[in-house]
Structure 1
Amino acid sequence: MKLQFYKKGIPTEILKRLAILLVVFVVSVVFFEVVTNISEPQEVLAQASPTLPTVTIDYLGDATTELHGYVTEMDPAYMRDAIIPLDSKRNVSITVDSKDYDVDGLSYEIRSLDTQRNISNNQLEFTSEDGLLKASFQAENLIEKNEEYLLILTITSGDQEIYYYTRIMQPEGCNEEEILDFAQYFHNTALSEDASDLATYIEPSSSASEDLNHVTINSNLAQISYGGFDGTQVGDVNTAITDISSNYISLTFTYLLNRDNSGKSEYYTCVEDFRIRYTSDRLYLLSYDRTMEQILDDQSVSYSQNVLNIGITDPDLQYMSNETGTIVSFVQNGSLYEYNQTDRTLKQIFSFVDDPTDSRSIYNQHQILLLNIDESGTMDYVVYGYMNSGSHEGECGINLYHYDAIEDTSSEQVFITSTSSYQILNANFSELLYETADNQFYIMVNGTLLYMNLNELTTKELMTGLDDAQYAVSASRRYLAWMDQEDMSDSIHIMDLETGNSYDITASKGQLLKPLAFLDDDLIYGTLNENDITIDGAGSTVYPMYKLTIADISSGSGRELMTYQKKGYYITDVSIESYTIYLDRIQIDSEGIITTADGDTIKNSAGEQNKAVDVSTISDDAKEQVVVLTMAELEEDEKLGKVDYDVPGLVLADGSHSISVASATSSTQYFVYVGSKVSLATDDLNRAITEADENMGIVLDNTPKYVWKRGRKSYQNAITGIAVGSSDSEASGSARALSAMLVQAGENVQVHTLLESGETPISVLSKTLKDYDILDLTGLSLSQVLYYVNLGTPVYAYTGDDTAVLIVGYDASSIIYFDPMTSQNQKMSLTEASDYFESFGNVFVSYIQ
């Protein structure tokens, strides 16, 4: 019998086949890796240094304003960094620091503020010495006193043109020299050893925070004079006068401070905003606001176990961390950093700061927005605004970057160009900005929802012409809720940007909906009964929402989490702060009179979840208060050791990654300027005026023209030319008031006939005064609407059904109003008038040319 033997394990033939497959796999991996590296080389660079020249304009003896260049033409109407006050001969003196840039030509252009009228356009002769070019010119005598004009300077270098924008004015009776001298005195005294003289001008409050990052007129004298901070000013102060009038002048100082910290050199950028009034008796400091922020580098950061000390900065800094709290990314003073506690590294991911003493490096007209971060520290972020240096130097726009923590490089993915200034771009910057896991990018720009496939470099406009009130974006930016109509709609559309899936929340019969805001990723929307829609005394439509709903939209169904409604109260708007929902409410009586009701709140019981990294402040002997980041606890007996400072590389995209998006919004926008900054952009005039009033600012529209100012004359004599038109002498009080308003503006129509045909006060004025902007000021206070009386324009004030008066003058304690039923002017105390008009809902209407 023949025995057969069987080998245990895998047969030899199969082993041979597996070995061949393994070799093929390894060769394939090596081959494709080599081919990929050959076909897609990536040049890793460092952030370039700035190259463009700067322009300085001298005025009022020793003041200078520095202008920064743009390589593309901007919308000049919104380039409002400063006003240059001209002397009696309208002289302008210019210095160009060419910074080794070849300058072939220099020219200037003067236009009207709305850009429609060209005053002059001339070439300039200049002298050159050691890289400094000097030129001067006399502005044309077509310039009217106390009127603002645009000044555009253009430097030519070969085929390239570089543009510099500012405003000019020939002030009269504004006392600009005395006010500038006082601001310089205040600044210098605050930095001196004895600042006790400044106590006369400040208004200390016990509620003011005690830190050097943000100092105001309500701070104590020690904070005003920098406390124990022993810094010295580096270079000159850059002066920007931002608003000039006979009532007050606003101006901004920017400068650099240096401090020696045990042999380490630290730099701090400072911005000082003043608002000053001059009288024959004395100067009044109306407002003072100073910010101070440390420029972070390897010399100025300190570490103690799991605590990172980042010095003087805003405690409310923007940051994201991984889930374990070992990596944190944060934005400080216009630069992006990432601290990895495990690897013991602090990385400067993105920064324009090359040399802190170079004003071009620290010109802070940009912002950085963090989009996401993973456990390794890989993240996406956006840099938007003015680009100080690099491949987009001198451009304004939105730049999307991806930082790969493994490769230690940031890669530019797409650049969206803009012709708006940083301030306008920042105020209009939408919260809708989202990148999916497979490189699909969504961004809302000027009412246009733009989709980009970053893999194929294709773009598509998904929606256009959306106003702010039509949509809301979740905190994660993943979910978008919008409606098709401007005011209310029978459905709200929901879209998950990560998946592209969408669905609708639909109103019941006879009801309408409106998306208001998000609380994290839960949608807040309002519901109204169509029968409740009403017209106020000015003729504007009011949409009173009787119910508020918070819905879970991530489930794909819009499941209701909670509702809010209180009998007799209607909701007009909501805002969210620190996980609390604030409700604006009104009441409507049986006669249809709308009055403002006390607000209400809804608090999120869960509140903000604990974060893996905590941001807090601690006291410091020299710096008063510093910001620290507390990371995850170190392991037992683990020591932090030395931390390395690193600057990752940068991979730039080619020109095909740049796109431009045109504005698609059709409504009038209002911009609130506080000093040199735009604090709010909105299509709600009342919200804009309220914001400006609270922050001592001004309101401009997108023409642009001045719409409202905090400052007004202390009194206004009764406006003349007020009389009821003959055809309305027997009409209702409302018709007579409107008739008198139109007669004063040079128009005479049968107002009562228009009202009887269904027109409203707003529509009558709009159709008759076609060269004016009609302003619905309903809901504002009496003191706020007196600004228009100050301009010599009557204000229509509703006083009940078919009755109204015109406010035509005021003094310190009373108003003067025209009674259309008697055609006589009457007086009423300010207190009594405020209560009286408020009882009718504060319904006011006026106009500006």
Structure 2
Amino acid sequence: MSRTKKILLTLLAYLTAFIAAVCVSSFVLNQGKVSGEQQRSSADLPLLYVRTGGELMNEMHGYTEPVDGGYYRDTLTPVGESKTINLSMDTYGHNISSVSFELYNDQYTDLIESGDCTDMEKVNAMVQMQLQFKNTLYSNREYCLHLMLKNDQDQVYHYYTRVRYGSDLKAAEKLKFVLDFNETTFNKDSADALSSYLESTSSSSSSDKSLVTLYSSSDTVTWGSMAPYRTSEIAIRLKEINTETAAFTLSYTIESSAGDINTFYNVNEYYRLRWTDSKVYLLDFERRMAENIGLADITVSSGALRLGIGDASDIDYASYGTDQQQYTWVTGDQQLWLYDNTNRIMTKVYTEEDDNHNCGRQDEAGIKVVHADPETGDLYFIVYGYMHSGNYEGREGVMVYHFSHEDVLLEDLVFIPFNKGFEQMRSGLEELAYMNDDGTLYLLLEDTVYAIDVNMGKMDVAYKDLNSSNCTASGDGIFVMCDGGDENAGERLKIVDLNSGKERTIEGGDWRIVPLGYAGKDLIYGLIDPQMLTEDSSGVIRTPISEVHILDENYNEVKTYQKSGDYVMRLTISDGNISMKLAKAVKNGNYTDYQDAGEDYIIRNIENDDQKIYVDKQKDSIRGQQNWLHLNTSDSFVPISQSARYLDPGYDISRKYEDTDQVEMQYYVYTKGRMDAAFATIQEAVDYGTTYAGTIMTSHKQVIWQKAGRAYIWDLNIDSINKTSNTQSMNSILIKTIADYEGWELNGTIDDAEPLFAAMTAVLPAETIDLSGLKLDDVLHFVYRDRVVAVKLSNNNYGLITAYDNDYVWIADPAKGEVYSMTQTAAEKLFEQNGKVYYSYMD
């Protein structure tokens, strides 16, 4: 064979191999598009802003489908006497042909009015417009505003904000104070100007810059020695406002070059202020900062990886792998990183950042690793909340991701839309989001557990009609639920190993039984005497726990707690600390009530699975306290750094879940511009809201209480009440007075033999609420919100609170058949003598 022919044959062989490789690659990659280093397609939906005092605030991100606006309170838009709102729009290249609006009540159930935005014109890079309300707005109410943008392809994008009307809100003036304060923090020479607004204490740390507060020094508030500068516009959000007070949040990014090191940070600030004609008082200030670690910043020093400034409690991490290969994943500030310990490679797997949009909504997004494969190093995780970019930009829900360690490739697996707000979604996912080795992912959404085959994209219902408050799960896939019984407690516990599918039960026997949670791998449950599951004098069914049992992972009993005469009314678990709120049962006629008996505690030593991998804080002279992740080595080196590529599946991966109208009642307390805590009772929520100046919103979408949101004088204009007689009972008079005031028709006949609260619940066309135990000052928030409050005046008599001012309250008393006033001091004393029993309602 000639040399030329050999060369030609060799080239032909190479060409054949190349074509085959291209065909194989094309077959694989045609299942989806690999988009290189880019995480996802950039955000491109239009953004809406409210113009106030020449500033743009309340940045609104669009939804591609309508959601239930009653669940959302990200922003509050002020409306003055002109009843107009000025809007600005960044179209991001969309040709928007019209903007319309709908105004609803605060629950987003009743449409008040609708119309079109007018005077649309382009000013520089923005489109400006105005909307005007025609209907009457009330100063003590919140409303839900739904804005709809239609483009030239008839696509509609949906935007939501809450609205508060007031004649003297001074939103622009209050915002100017906040922005001036923020600007001054970047000027070290003006530090003294801030001192008069701060309440600096010597106990406040100057080295921990992840959290700066009203009690920090002026030097700390002006960034110490960091000398940063802003690298983004400020995203301004108004959270609360009334005539005197207001609360704002600011979000922006900064860079610091101090110490010849460039570091970048995401900053979120909270301001609460009170405005007077003579002075502005800064009631609260908080600045949270988290370092934004870039690929070029990754270094390991003496075996530790610097994570930088940030809240250590926001960092989650775990190590996994085999004897030959070890990995460590870490999450924080909406990022997921994977470190290959053996090969010293650090990969940025996922980030919420998008340079195309200023997405300052990180409080309403979560990330959770649900499975780590020790053999391959692969990760499976969920991201839940609002989708800022990618194929499902403008949707809210749960995205399931897979990261291939070998291919350095991130892919979407399943998307589950959810339209009832972040808190409803988070409450279930924090309880159960777990994937087993077979690739079945279990998620709890509302009252249903779903089983998702992540390989096939198939989603089925595993367990339904659950009461999520009577469910719990361990970190290694043991799910516990009540079986039998009712919504208060079960006849037995059903325990499912989500790894093997094996089930077992714990019988309650003569008791009712409820799961209380896990402390590490220890299961905690409570036993309840079924005879105690009865209504108290206020008509509420309590769940007093007589015994608390703790089982280890092999279901051996390791601890039993019971205290003669006391019942556990609430139990919370923090690491190994178990705290219990106790009460004593007290007979009250035919009812059993419960009096506070203090707290008790159980301490469990929770073993750390791997103490070789841990996070601690180390300090330097410029940036102060910083988080370091220790990686079970003593070496110092610069690891290889890389970002995951992204695989677009190229088809719709959304799956529907079974929506339910049954939403378990919870009381969400919003503080410092974010949802901070959730409670099962209004009493606990008010106690927390009082301490932290909060706003309370129910899981049924009612805004019912605000620490600083009550007028000094309010009158429901109920000037008379009938007197009880042989033909008119107290229940009938009180309930009919409430119905007449609200303009309601009753849902049936009033039962005069029932306790008042039970009778109200049976016939009023609104949710009733037991406010018993609250202080009078807190109860008056309901009167301010135009809700009549029933109050116990004596053993056999109730009245209605109909008005108040700074010194007096007015009572409509059916026993006397008249409306009269009492000083608040005298009224508080009388109400306390009769148990501080108050009932009202939420519509």
Q: TM-score range by the shorter chain?
A: 0.7 to 0.9
Residues 1:244 and 2:244 are matched in the alignment: no
CA distance 1:38–1:172, change in 2 (3 Å): closer
Q: Do the aligned partners of 2:482 and 2:513 also contact (CA within 8 Å) in 1?
A: no
Q: What's the offset of the Cα at 1:811?
A: 6.3
Q: What's the offset of the Cα at 1:112?
A: 1.6
Q: Do the aligned partners of 2:231 and 2:254 also contact (CA within 8 Å) in 1?
A: yes
CA distance 1:605–1:730, change in 2 (3 Å): farther
Q: Pick one of 742, 746, 749 that aligns with 2:740.
A: 746
Q: What's the offset of the Cα at 1:456?
A: 3.4
Q: What's the offset of the Cα at 1:70?
A: 2.3
Q: What's the offset of the Cα at 1:218?
A: 3.1
Deviation by residue 1:138-189 (Cα, 9 ceiling, x = unmatched): 4132252535340413141535433332234443122223322221222222
Q: Do the aligned partners of 2:365 and 2:385 also contact (CA within 8 Å) in 1?
A: yes
Residues 1:304 and 2:301 are matched in the alignment: yes
Q: Pick one of 51, 54, 59 that aligns with 2:47.
A: 54
Report the counterpart of residue 175 of structure 1 in structure 2: 170
Q: What's the offset of the Cα at 1:454?
A: 2.6
CA distance 1:234–1:797, change in 2 (3 Å): same
Deviation by residue 1:640-691 (Cα, 9 ceiling, x = unmatched): 3332221122233343532122432514454333354223456644444344
Q: Do the aligned partners of 1:524 and 1:551 also contact (CA within 8 Å) in 2?
A: yes
Residues 1:109 and 2:101 are matched in the alignment: yes
Report the counterpart of residue 648 of structure 1 in structure 2: 644
Q: What's the offset of the Cα at 1:385?
A: 1.4
Q: What's the offset of the Cα at 1:319?
A: 2.3
SS at match of 2:66: coil
Distance 1:714 1:72 in 2: 38
Report the counterpart of residue 611 of structure 2 in structure 1: 611
CA distance 1:116–1:827, change in 2 (3 Å): closer
Distance 1:597 1:123 in 2: 58
CA distance 1:145–1:195, change in 2 (3 Å): farther
SS at match of 1:566: coil
CA distance 1:590–1:205, change in 2 (3 Å): farther
Q: Do the aligned partners of 1:298 and 1:645 also contact (CA within 8 Å) in 2?
A: yes
Distance 1:722 1:92 in 2: 37
SS at match of 1:778: coil
Q: Do the aligned partners of 2:669 and 2:678 also contact (CA within 8 Å) in 1?
A: yes
Q: What's the offset of the Cα at 1:354?
A: 4.8
Deviation by residue 1:4-38 (Cα, 9 ceiling, x = unmatched): xxxxxxxxxxxxxxxxxxxxxxxxxxxx9999978
SS at match of 1:342: coil
Q: Pick one of 571, 581, 585 that aligns with 1:574.
A: 571
CA distance 1:793–1:737, change in 2 (3 Å): farther
Q: Do the aligned partners of 1:712 and 1:790 also contact (CA within 8 Å) in 2?
A: no
Report the counterpart of residue 19 of structure 1 in structure 2: none
Q: Do the aligned partners of 1:582 and 1:602 also contact (CA within 8 Å) in 2?
A: yes
CA distance 1:796–1:203, change in 2 (3 Å): farther
CA distance 1:368–1:713, change in 2 (3 Å): closer
Q: What's the offset of the Cα at 1:839?
A: 7.0
Distance 2:407 2:761 in 1: 61
More off after superposition, 717-726 vs 149-158: 717-726
Report the counterpart of residue 526 of structure 2 in structure 1: 526
Mapping of residues 574-593 of structure 1, within 5 Å: 574-591=571-588, 592-593=592-593
Distance 1:715 1:121 in 2: 35
Mapping of residues 674-823 of structure 1, within 5 Å: 674-681=671-678, 684-702=681-699, 704-713=701-710, 715-716=712-713, 721=718, 725-728=722-725, 736=730, 739-740=733-734, 742-743=736-737, 746=740, 757=753, 759-770=754-765, 772-791=766-785, 793-798=787-792, 801-802=795-796, 804=798
Distance 1:704 1:289 in 2: 27
Q: Pick one of 44, 47, 52 that aligns with 2:34.
A: 44
CA distance 1:797–1:564, change in 2 (3 Å): farther
Distance 2:185 2:500 in 1: 56
Q: What's the offset of the Cα at 1:736?
A: 4.2
SS at match of 1:508: coil
Look up the equivalent residue of 1:641 and give its one-letter code. F
Q: Do the aligned partners of 2:242 and 2:709 also contact (CA within 8 Å) in 1?
A: no
So what's the TM-score if we normalise by structure 1? 0.85
Distance 1:661 1:404 in 2: 27
Report the counterpart of residue 195 of structure 1 in structure 2: 191
What is the aligned-residue identity percentage? Answer: 21
Q: What's the offset of the Cα at 1:563?
A: 0.9
Deviation by residue 1:330-375 (Cα, 9 ceiling, x = unmatched): 12221111233432222111113353x8525986742211224354
Consecutive unaligned residues of structure 1, counting only runs of 5 or more, are 1-31
Mapping of residues 336-735 of structure 1, within 5 Å: 336-355=336-355, 358-360=357-359, 365-375=364-374, 377-422=377-422, 425-426=425-426, 429-484=429-484, 485-509=486-510, 511-552=511-552, 554-555=553-554, 558-591=555-588, 592-606=592-606, 608=608, 611-634=611-634, 639-667=635-663, 668-681=665-678, 684-702=681-699, 704-713=701-710, 715-716=712-713, 721=718, 725-728=722-725
Distance 1:523 1:36 in 2: 51
CA distance 1:794–1:289, change in 2 (3 Å): same
Distance 2:370 2:768 in 1: 41
Q: What's the offset of the Cα at 1:808?
A: 5.6
Look up the equivalent residue of 1:458 and give its one-letter code. K
Distance 1:361 1:755 in 2: 52
Look up the equivalent residue of 2:255 and give its one-letter code. N
More off after superposition, 382-391 vs 42-51: 42-51
SS at match of 1:64: strand
Q: What's the offset of the Cα at 1:706?
A: 1.9
Aligned length: 799
Look up the equivalent residue of 1:513 and give its one-letter code. I
Consecutive unaligned residues of structure 2, counting only runs of 5 or more, are 1-19
Q: What's the offset of the Cα at 1:505?
A: 1.4
SS at match of 1:310: strand
Distance 1:406 1:180 in 2: 51
CA distance 1:633–1:189, change in 2 (3 Å): same
Distance 1:338 1:841 in 2: 57
Residues 1:75 and 2:68 are matched in the alignment: yes
Distance 2:678 2:544 in 1: 24
SS at match of 2:176: helix
Deviation by residue 1:701-729 (Cα, 9 ceiling, x = unmatched): 35533212112447447876476633448
Q: CA RMSD in A?
A: 3.6
CA distance 1:687–1:428, change in 2 (3 Å): farther
Report the counterpart of residue 122 of structure 1 in structure 2: 116
CA distance 1:534–1:166, change in 2 (3 Å): closer
Mapping of residues 241-320 of structure 1, within 5 Å: 241-261=238-258, 265-320=262-317
Larger gyration radius, structure 1 or structure 2: 1
Distance 2:62 2:751 in 1: 54
